[in-house]
Chain A
Amino acid sequence: MASADVSTRPGGAAAIGPSSAMARHAGESRSSSLIWPRLWHNPRVVASSLVLLIIVAVAVFAPWLTPQDPMQMDSSARLQGPSAEHRLGTDEYGRDLLSRIILGSRTSIVVAVLSVAAATVVGTIFGLVGSYFGGIWEVATMRSVDVLLTFPPILLAIAVVAFVGPSLPNLIGVIALLYMPRFARIAHGAGLQVKQREFVEAARVLGAGTPRILWLAVLPNILAPIFVQISLSLGFAILLESGLSFLGLGTPPPEPSWGNMVGVARGYMRQSGWFVLWPSLAISLTILCFNTLGDGLRDSLDPRLKQ
């Protein structure tokens, strides 16, 4: 079911069927000295990495960067437009929007990074174990991945959160669960290719244990596709976190998150358009950068896919 893979990927066109692209990749060791110059000469990669670095820095240092207290209410200054005092205006309780956007970046980045990290580790292990051992292991890992892919991502997330309740750990767990299959597919496809190669056999002949073979011989050969997928998945994780928060099923208020800000601002659109505009821009810009970085990484790491 390569199809389900595509549906969940706003990353788009060139990204169809990662496993097949990956498969071609597998087993080809490219020294890092060849990859880096190529990345640095891709202006899209450089530009989007720079913006992402700034966003991550803002998220890390958020408490020191907010010009005002993001929780400070002011009933005399509700739903204002940008002014000297409030650079981006204020929300429905008169709280400073710039400060809340800055603090909200934390939620998005933390949720995205932790969930994608978990998805990467679990998915890669699933895929490698399934492909390397084959048989019942392969059936168990890949069929469970198939089941996860039968739900539209947002629907599965909503269903799970509806029953276990919205909280930050639940949110991270759900997003990790949703994006694990992509990594499992990539690792599975690449693992199948690599395990037949001579160097894996050589390692086995030399007496290396299975974990050691997987770690030292197989894993390094599938890193490139996994990096591309990490970048794209980070964008989707932010998309999903904000979508769930928008529905009121993600980050619980009063903690600011870009998604729940858009959700709340929707109710005040007649009074203030600024309130809904800023968090929308923040979400879109961040996802744009992750998508661009993912596309650029793919072009650089696998020139044959370059359009």
Chain B
Amino acid sequence: MVAYTIRRLLQAFALIFVVATLVALFIHAIPGDPVYVILGENNVTPERVAAVRRDLGLDRPVPVQYAEWIGAVARGDFGKSLISGRPIAGDLALRLPRTLELVLVSTLLSVLVGVPLGVVAATNRNRLPDLAVSTLTLIGVSAPVFVVGTLLVLVIGVQWGILPAAGYVPFRENPIEHIQHLILPCVALATLETAILQRMTRSSMLEVLAEDYVRTARAKGLAGRVVVYGHALRNALIPVLTIIGVQIGSALGGTVLVELIFNWPGLSSYLVTGINQRDYPVVQAVVLLIAALFILLNLLTDLCYAVVDPRIRYG
């Protein structure tokens, strides 16, 4: 297990390095001169062109730019925003916890709702509760996150006015309002994850319920509830739990749309603003950070798999 962990760690760092290289080269993929693209048509004066070129380090040879960028990033320095002039690292540190809050709360929500619904569906296989829940989750996996989010804003935020439609209030300022603003974006993010978890739990439960030891437990007269929760669920949850890392990763991708819809000042909205303002250093930093998080999550997931299933370690 130790050797496997070390090997996977090295692989993960190699991947992050490759991603950093790609991200560093992104700026050279812009058609035309990036400096003119950044400045726009009207603001081009020789002084400003020279200033932006110097800020981005574009006045030096590409290998030097690359080495300096990688070196700076390794020290946690992502440069300065072209628009605000503030260090990007500071903004990232401010916004990362907000995005992680959305991701973690929605993941928790999806586990708390998805797993019980999966159990209900499996224990009532092909009866009304199963059909009802499974139909709901089929809709849940098919409705895009931005559609769910937009419709939540429309119905709950605008028409009913029960919860704030969008915005963010820091927890320290007003905890209650903070949580009110948190609910809708988390529900939007959790919809897909809940549906996937429900489907996984259902199929995993059905598999386990057909096992011999479950029949044995029933045959020796254990109550149905004890068999389902004591014997079957505990084993059925193993594959479900290992998938949660993957769920967190996909929720991380979902925040790109959800933060925009709910005006949540996290990493992803920083990214979208950066794109719209052609603030390329910001775009590079956020893409790299989210990709690195994603890689580390995948690593954790694979390690969980390896703990559960020894065949993977030696494969």
Contacts and interface: CB of A to CB of B under 8 A. Distances in A.
A266 B139 contact: no
Interface in A1-54: 1-4, 6-8, 10-14, 16
A151 interface: yes
A243 to B, nearest CB: 6
A273 B159 contact: yes
A163 interface: yes
Contacts of B27: 163
Given A154-B257, A164-B29, A247-B272, A14 B142 contact: no
A207 B29 CA distance: 45
A152 B252 contact: yes
Interface in A129-158: 146-147, 150-155, 158
Interface residues of A, number: 53
B181 interface: no
A14 B294 contact: no
Contact of B298 (A150, A154, A280, A284): A150
Interface in B238-265: 239, 243, 245-247, 249-250, 252-254, 256-257, 260-261
Contacts of A1: 298, 302
Given A152-B290, A246-B257, A247-B257, A158 B275 contact: yes
Interface in B195-242: 195-196, 198-200, 202-204, 206, 239
Chain B contact residues (Cβ within 8 angstroms of A): what range? 35 or more
Interface string A139-183: 000000011001111110011001111000000000000000000
A258 to B, nearest CB: 9
Contact of A150 (B26, B150, B291): B291
Contact of A243 (B146, B192, B245): B146
Interface of A: 1-4, 6-8, 10-14, 16, 146-147, 150-155, 158-159, 162-165, 235, 239, 242-243, 246-249, 259, 262, 265-266, 269-270, 273, 276-277, 280, 283-285, 287-288, 291-292, 307
Smallest CB-CB A-B distances: 7 pairs: A152-B253, A13-B199, A288-B142, A13-B200, A162-B275, A7-B250, A7-B246
29 contacts: A1-B298, A3-B302, A4-B249, A7-B247, A10-B196, A12-B196, A13-B199, A13-B200, A16-B239, A16-B243, A150-B291, A150-B294, A151-B290, A151-B291, A154-B254, A155-B256, A155-B287, A155-B291, A155-B294, A163-B27, A163-B283, A243-B146, A246-B146, A249-B275, A269-B153, A273-B154, A276-B154, A288-B142, A291-B138
